[in-house]
Structure 1
Amino acid sequence: METKTPSPRTLILVPLDFEDASKKALDMALELAAPLNADIVALHITRPAVARPGELPASLLERLRDEAHAAAERELEQLVTRIANLKTLLRTGDPEDVILSAIDDLKPSLVIMGTHGRRGLRRLLLGSVAEHVLVRSQVPVITVRANYPA
């Protein structure tokens, strides 16, 4: 008699900045999770607090960083209480690098992330985290705009 080992659960990674586009990405992940028997990992990234010398005291920068981190923890905890199959990660760093590192570490089957849909000069100046991840990811990436119908 042959016994099968259960296949590992599918994992969906959702970078989450709590703006409309990333909330829509989380909604899409929730829609896909049940039929795929998937777990979802919501990844929130805080940027390191930096300032040029003399702009802000180091103690203020540290306090601002700590407050941003605490606020993100509260937001993520609220999501976990509402969504059963959700796990969360909170990291600090450059969003593109942290997301790609999480992909390498977690080995998700899919990444679903929001995009602001910037064009022209704004995109050139601000860049696109989603585009950066889309080009460099070794797993499929779905991007969702804020105006995606719920």
Structure 2
Amino acid sequence: MAESQDKMQQNVLVAIDFSPHAMAALKYAANMSKCLGTNLTILHVVHDLASSPGYYAPKKIKGEKKILRRLEEIAEEMMDEFLVKLIKENPELKSMIKKADVMLVSGLTVTKILQVVEKLQPQLLVMGNKGRSGLKNILMGSKAEQVIKLCPIPVTIVKE
């Protein structure tokens, strides 16, 4: 039992939202995972339509009609573009990113991140944060702050 638990914990989890802060968090997590000799799992939570209606904006391709597409499909494309950009800007991380596990899950961001942490039991969770402050943060709260308060493992917050 202890051996299988050790294998599960040999993982660094990074939650990303495709922002510049998420790019910094992914670079940090990839380097940390490389130094620790652990697996890297990249997580993106696709917004739950019931909690925050909206759409991921697809890029308009010349000559193609604008069509409605499932959020998951667009999120997959965004993830691919995000990872390609990271590798292009940081070729030394290519091997880490290529062998990383990529997870796209739908739901409420904080809840899903905590569920994935419970399932994977990683050593560390890394997240980017834009560091809102003042009234806006008090009224809306920070997803990163909520995760820090509720997460059973260490959380590292990275800013761009």
Partner residue of 1:124?
138
Q: How does 1:90-105 map to 2 (within 5 A)?
A: 90-105=104-119
Aligned Cα root-mean-square deviation (Å): 2.6
Q: 1:135 to 1:69 in 2, by over 3 A?
A: same
Aligned pair 1:31/2:31, yes or no?
yes
Aligned pair 1:75/2:78, yes or no?
yes
Task: Count matched residues.
Answer: 131
Deviation at 1:65, TM superposition (A): 6.6
Equivalent-residue separation in structure 1 for 2:135 and 2:100 (angstroms): 36
Q: 1:12 to 1:45 in 2, by over 3 A?
A: same
Equivalent-residue separation in structure 1 for 2:16 and 2:119 (angstroms): 17
Equivalent-residue separation in structure 2 for 1:38 and 1:76 (angstroms): 21
Q: Could you give the per-residue CA deviations for residues 17-63 of structure 1, whole angstroms, max 9, x where no partner exists? A: 00011111000011111120111111111112249xxxx9xxxxxx8
TM-score, reference length from structure 2:
0.72
Equivalent-residue separation in structure 2 for 1:131 and 1:65 (angstroms): 32
Aligned pair 1:113/2:127, yes or no?
yes
Q: How does 1:6-85 map to 2 (within 5 A)?
A: 8=7, 10-50=10-50, 66=70, 68-78=71-81, 79=83, 82=94, 83-85=97-99
The letter of the residue matching 2:107 is G
TM-score, reference length from structure 1:
0.77
Deviation at 1:70, TM superposition (A): 1.2
Equivalent-residue separation in structure 2 for 1:138 and 1:11 (angstroms): 15
Whether the 8 Å contact between 1:11 and 1:109 is mirrored in structure 2 is: yes
Whether the 8 Å contact between 1:15 and 1:112 is mirrored in structure 2 is: yes
Indicate the percent of aligned positions where both proteins have the same amino acid. Answer: 30
Residue aligned with 1:29, SS: helix
Whether the 8 Å contact between 1:11 and 1:38 is mirrored in structure 2 is: yes
Whether the 8 Å contact between 2:18 and 2:79 is mirrored in structure 1 is: no
Whether the 8 Å contact between 1:17 and 1:44 is mirrored in structure 2 is: yes
Equivalent-residue separation in structure 2 for 1:85 and 1:11 (angstroms): 12
Whether the 8 Å contact between 1:49 and 1:65 is mirrored in structure 2 is: no
Residue aligned with 1:17, SS: coil
Structure 1, unpaired ranges of 5+? 57-62
